[in-house]
Amino acid sequence: MSTEKNKRTVIVGLFVTLGLLILVVGVFTLGGQKKTFAPSIDVQAVFDNVNGLQKGDNVWFSGVKVGVVRSIEFNGNSQIRVTMHIERKAQEFIRKDAKAKVGAEGFIGNKLVVIYGGSEKAGPIEGGEHLMVEKTLSTDDMMATLQKNNENLVAITTDFKTVSNRLVSGEGTAGALLTDATLYKSLASTASNLQVAARNSQVLSSRIAAYTAQLEKPGSLANGLVNDTVIMANLQAAVKQINDAANAAHSFTSNLKTVSDQLRTDNSAAGVLLNDQEAAEDLKAILENLNSGSRKLDEDLEALQHNFLFRGYFRKKAKREAKAREAEEKMREAAEKDN
């Protein structure tokens, strides 16, 4: 009897000891998962809506768990202050100007706090900081957005159905294009003409470019006009000379007109000759008398040369002239030989 009692006591002691071991292991395991016993610092963030976030939920940074939510408290009338335990080993990577937002593990998973962003110049957190927050859409907001999108999609499909029915019925320009072969051929012809016009424009542009290159070729007139200042100066001088000649011609024509006007009157000798018939006849008679007198004078001089009184004089004169001509001839021949 005593032996069985002792045996039962030992078995009970073993079970109690095993239970205590399991309890201790469970506590340390859960504490390790929740980072209860890890060195940490506290930071805070104030949200307008935590969307179901609870105490003990995880805190992530760059996709890695770096802490847990320590407490959730009301802050003022409509805000929530969330205090987070952050592991010290992650402290150097989280900056003071980092932001926090409420997220979820998957689309409908457990809620969590996501810390992101921050700049190098801000420095790492030291504990007690209030992180900036970003408003996130809740599940209800997303569902409302999806509902609105669904309504818009229904409206779009309804409009598309109406448009497709009108196209099939041949209504409107697009419907006519689908059902009217004549209109299609006309548009095809127009497109062909546009292509031809485009090719012609391309050819014309190429020719204009080639012509421009020729104009810019050194030695050409256009290049000289653009780049050679001497040619431009000569052209300006030529234009000035042409202008001067035009002005002189204008003056000459003006003077000629004045003379013509004077010739039409009897105030001058030329005007009298042109307009007075009697004066013209008298002048003609005078000229005829002069011509007749000149012929008679020539005859008298010819007779005088044959007269015996003057015959010796004229012969000597002819000899002197002959000698002068011979001397000139000899001098010319000598000059030609020297050359």
Domain range list for the chain = 37-140, 276-325
The pLDDT value given to residue 157 = 85
Of 37, 35, 107, nearest to 66 by C-alpha is 35
pLDDT of residue 83: 93
- For 164, list phi and psi in degrees, rounded to 5: -65, -40
Contact 152, 119 (CB under 8 A): no
How many CA atoms lie less than 13 Å away from 127 in the CB half-sphere?
A: 8
pTM of the model: 0.36
Q: What is the mean pLDDT of each run of 10 residues along the chain (339 residues)?
A: 67 76 66 58 90 89 91 87 91 90 78 89 88 74 78 83 71 64 74 86 84 70 65 77 85 78 63 65 78 76 66 75 86 81
Q: In angstroms, rounded to a whole number, what is the distance separating the alpha carbons of residues 332 and 302?
A: 33
Q: What is the 3-state secondary structure (H, E, C) of the chain?
A: CHHHHHHHHHHHHHHHHHHHHHHHHHHHHHHHHCCCCCCEEEEEEEECCCCCCCCCCEEEECCEEEEEEEEEEEECCCEEEEEEEEEHHHHHHCECCCEEEEEECCCCCCEEEEEECCCHHHCECCCCCEEEECCCCCHHHHHHHHHHHHHHHHHHHHHHHHHHHHHHHCCHHHHHHHHCHHHHHHHHHHHHHHHHHHHHHHHHHHHHHHHHHHHCCCCCHHHHHHHCHHHHHHHHHHHHHHHHHHHHHHHHHHHHHHHHHHHCCCCCHHHHHHHCHHHHHHHHHHHHHHHHHHHHHHHHHHHHHHCCCCHHHHHHHHHHHHHHHHHHHHHHHHHHHHC
pLDDT, residue 308, reads: 63
* Pair of tokens at residue 210: 């080639």
For position 24, what pLDDT does the model report? 66
